[in-house]
Structure 1
Amino acid sequence: MEQENASDLAAFMAATGPIPGELRGDRIDRILDTVRSHLGMEIAFVSRYVEGDEREFTHMSSDLPLPHGAGHREPKEDSFCFHILEGRLPQLIPDAQAIPFARSLPITDILPVGCHLNVPLRLADGSVYGSFCALSRVANHEITERDMGVLNAFAELAVESIESELSEGVVQQHLADSIAAVMEKRQLTIVHQPIHSLVTGLPVGVECLARFPDAGTRGPDLWFDEAAQVGLGLELEMFAIRAALETLGALPEGRYASINASPDTILSGELHNLLHKVPSGKLVVEVTEHAHVTDYDGLAEALRGLSKNARVAIDDVGAGYAGLRHIVDLSPDILKLDMSLTRDVHLDKARHALSSAMVRFAAEIGANLVAEGIECAEEAAALAAMGIDYGQGYYYARPMPVVRAQRHMLGLPQEEEADSPVQVSANQMPMARTA
């Protein structure tokens, strides 16, 4: 019998293979489908016990038009599963009508319940999570202990997936708590990185960048990506954007600030509602390209709605998803060349040729070019010679506190006290998805 059960499991594992975390719920569904088919049952499900005196169906497999599916809750005392756990009913029931206590449960006649097999699901710490169950509406006296062995074996597989999901849930909750704490406790500083004219060398604006508490070990990209993973992406971005707008008052006359926004945030409509108060000419919205865009028409329409208050830039052109479609479909005012194109451009013929091609393209569509990641005079000179308008990078200025950036743009000497990072208020969270 053990060899046959092992064979059943081996066949299932060969068919399913390793399952990524996000698909483990699907794996439980497939386990239930396999069990139901193998045992000739009409229904198979996993349930869990929840707060109070209820149980919830988490996964359901059946070809029948059942009145309830996954997510349905009911009193646990109305179920076979609970009474099996309590020892009032056996795990293997060939015919529920033959057991007086089983016959007294309303579900026995409502469904009806004929043959019923059940395994309580116990986690590694010994606690009972719920039940793994297979049943049919008719009795089956040919069901055996071997079939119970099969159910037990597949229940163990289900427990492995459940344990993994619960562990991931703990991690996800920790991330959500950390992100919420950063917003609640204002654990962010805001910095500006100046953007300079490659022709005159003078600063023309800044990009607003975020610095989280662990800035020395992790970049802000990770915070925004993790926020998106736990469903707080929009909240964290909008929190940061509102803060970036609060720093506009530090800009000298004629200078602009650039903030980053993901396509999802732009499509949400919240950014449009926020920017109507911003003076025109003061702001550039950089469309970050770290996620695939599924609705270009909607994104283009949303950006047109922002155009009264802000110019539109495409960030990191030449890297990731920021390809030709970003540039063609979104009608940007500014193209920001990724440092992968500008780094060593004075030495690399391919980078030089690609950057030169972007100059011609930008001229055709009426867009300005900003070269990112400039680190030496030779790069700046080569890019200026091509006809690129603006640049930013360590050659001109590192990201710096708002007060230092203001003095930098005014051409004033820096003061010692300006070296300290600026701790921002509840409505002054910095916005950036780049280090």
Structure 2
Amino acid sequence: MPLSPLSTDDLVLSALHSMRTLVGMEVAFVSQFKKGRRIFRYVEPLDNPVALHVGDSDPLEESYCHRIATGQLPELMHDARLLDATQDIAATLALPVGAHLSVPIRLSDGDVYGEFCCFSRTADPTLDARDVETMRCFADITAKFIDQQAREEQRRDELLSRHTAVLQAQRFSIVYQPIVHLDSGRIVGYEALTRFLDEPVRTPDVWFAEAAEVGLQQALERAVLTKALSQLERLPAPSYLSINASPETVLAGALQQALGDYPLERIVLELTEHTLVHDYPGIVEVLSPLRKRGLRLAVDDAGAGFASFRHIVELHPDIIKLDNSLIRQIDTHQGYRALADALIRFAHQTGSVVIAEGVETQAQRTILKSLQADEAQGYLLGRPAPIDTLV
């Protein structure tokens, strides 16, 4: 199993611990200068002997950090109590402050974020210039971590603002792609697909991934489902409507709310997930009463990876959709053709219907018919289009 990447907090605390241990100090911390205050952002160890806590703050100008950053105090003090310039700082005698080592944290834009600091309540005459240089290295590394975190937070804020605006103004549209019965050539259903209107232009899968990143996945999916289902009655009966939802949205109950009183026998749910689902029993439990009322379940991307095979085994879908990466070479590559053949035979043996996605050539359609695939969709058979052009 791959190791989880360390967070910025973990990395900064590790740097503080390493420096504090190296110089034998009692406490290490990273402070931030903000709006005239010194704020303690990271403290190591948490159970330090001077009871310094993350989130504590004090006036910036009255702090060691500010005076060191502005050159009023030296970066290295063997015993702060012996310096005239520290006598008006309350902490000097209150803690007391003995050995003190601190350097500014400078961000990539040149601004001083705050200070990287270690101190003890006792003096230490052994500290030297090499300790200061070592601390500069740790401070530079910490600055990179903080810079990266700031960029990530800015990106997240921008994503949240963008997706909130899209949701509030419903700045997306639904197009419907025909699904065709291969033998008869008649349209048997339509898949509802989302198109986003905002800049920068990105594919729908990126939009949904970003929504998940900022905690708006369920809200976005629910809004899309509501808009897609609102046109069901306009589709010619008895054709069905295929909608997409993630396992998270299903488990949260948003799907049931969106489906409401719609005729479930005319609806197919495509479970969208490209990685392993961690709660198959939960999904089965949620979908069971809906499937008893006529809702059909489809698993897409079959042939594109292991996850889709696990979905098929665990969820017993009514429909298995062959991924377009498989269909793209089905008429030119024996291996892809053999895999498609095996999936189609497996589906039929387990009572599932097979839909081939991404059919773009007559040769692909001919091969799929010979392999006895049931239905297909793709540019050859019909492009996604607004509902008004279909009815």
TM over 0.5: yes
Alpha-carbon spacing, 1:215–1:83, altered in 2? closer, same or farther (3 Å):
closer
Give the direction of change, closer, same or farther, for the CA distance of 1:277–1:85 in structure 2 (3 Å limit).
farther
Amino acid across the alignment from 2:272: T
1:349-384 alpha-carbon deviations (Å, 9 max, x no partner): 323322222222222322211111112333223323
Structure with the bigger RCO (C-alpha within 8 Å, sep 6+) is 1
1:133 and 2:117 correspond: yes
Which residue in 2 is equivalent to 1:335? 320
The answer to whether the Cα contact below 8 Å between 2:225 and 2:258 also exists between their aligned partners in 1 is no
Query: What are the Cα deviations for residues 16-74 of structure 1, in whole angstroms up to 9, with x where unaligned?
Result: xxxx9975554333322321222122322222234x5544433333274565654x232
- The aligned residue for residue 387 of structure 2 is 402
Taking the aligned partners of 2:257 and 2:86, their CA distance within structure 1 comes to 60
Amino acid corresponding to residue 261 of structure 2 in structure 1: K
Distance apart, 1:288 and its partner CA? 1.2
Deviation larger for 221-230 or 79-88: 79-88
Question: 2:193 aligns to what SS in structure 1?
Answer: strand
Query: Superposition pairs for residues 15-26 of structure 1, below 5 Å?
Result: 23-26=7-10
Q: Does 1:235 find its partner at 2:216? A: no
| C-alpha deviation, 1:89, in angstroms | 4.5
- What residue number does 2:101 align with? 117
- Residue 57 of structure 1 aligns with which residue? 40
CA distance in 2, matches of 1:90, 1:139: 15
Structure 2: distance between partners of 1:182 and 1:369: 35
Greater displacement, 145-154 / 248-257: 145-154
Contact 1:314/1:322 (CA < 8 Å) preserved in 2? no
For the residue of structure 1 that corresponds to 2:263, the secondary structure is coil
- Equivalent residues in 2 for 1:319-334 (5 A)? 319-334=304-319
Change (3 A) 1:237 1:108: farther
1:329-348 alpha-carbon deviations (Å, 9 max, x no partner): 12211111112222343444
Match of residue 373 from structure 1: 358
Classify 1:106/1:306 alpha carbon distance in 2 versus 1 (closer, same or farther; 3 Å).
farther
Rate the CA distance shift 1:145–1:297 in 2: closer, same or farther, 3 A. same
Distance 1:150 1:354, change over 3 A: closer
Query: Structure 2, unaligned stretches of length 5 or more?
Result: none
TM-score by length of structure 1 reads 0.78
Cα deviation for residue 391 of structure 1 reads 1.0
CA deviation vs aligned residue, 1:187-206 (integer Å, no higher than 9, x gap) = 32221001111121111111
The alignment-based identity, stated in percent, is: 39
Counterpart in the other structure of 2:21: 37
Aligned to 1:356: 341
CA distance in 2, matches of 1:304, 1:55: 56
Which residue in the other structure is 1:205 paired with? 189
Deviation track 1:190-242 (CA, whole Å, cap 9, x = no partner) reads: 21001111121111111111112269963212222222333333332222222
Partner of 2:376: 391
Residue 266 of structure 2 is matched in structure 1 by 282
SS at match of 2:139: helix
**Most deviating of 40-49 and 164-173:** 164-173
Q: 1:141-191 CA deviation, whole Å, 9 max, x = no partner?
A: 222233223222321222233223323333333333333333333332221
Rounded to whole Å, the distance in 2 between the matches of 1:174 and 1:75 is 31
Give per-residue Cα distances to partners, 1:238-294, cap 9 Å, x unaligned.
222222222223222212111111222222232233323332212211111234423
1:314: how far off?
A: 0.5
| Deviation for aligned residue 1:327 | 0.7
Q: 2:126 matched to which residue of 1?
A: 142
| 391-400 vs 354-363, which moves further | 354-363
CA distance in 1, matches of 2:93, 2:236: 79
Deviation of the 1:317 alpha carbon: 0.8
Q: Tell me the CA shift for residue 107 of structure 1.
A: 5.0
Separation in 1 of the partners of 2:295 and 2:53? 48
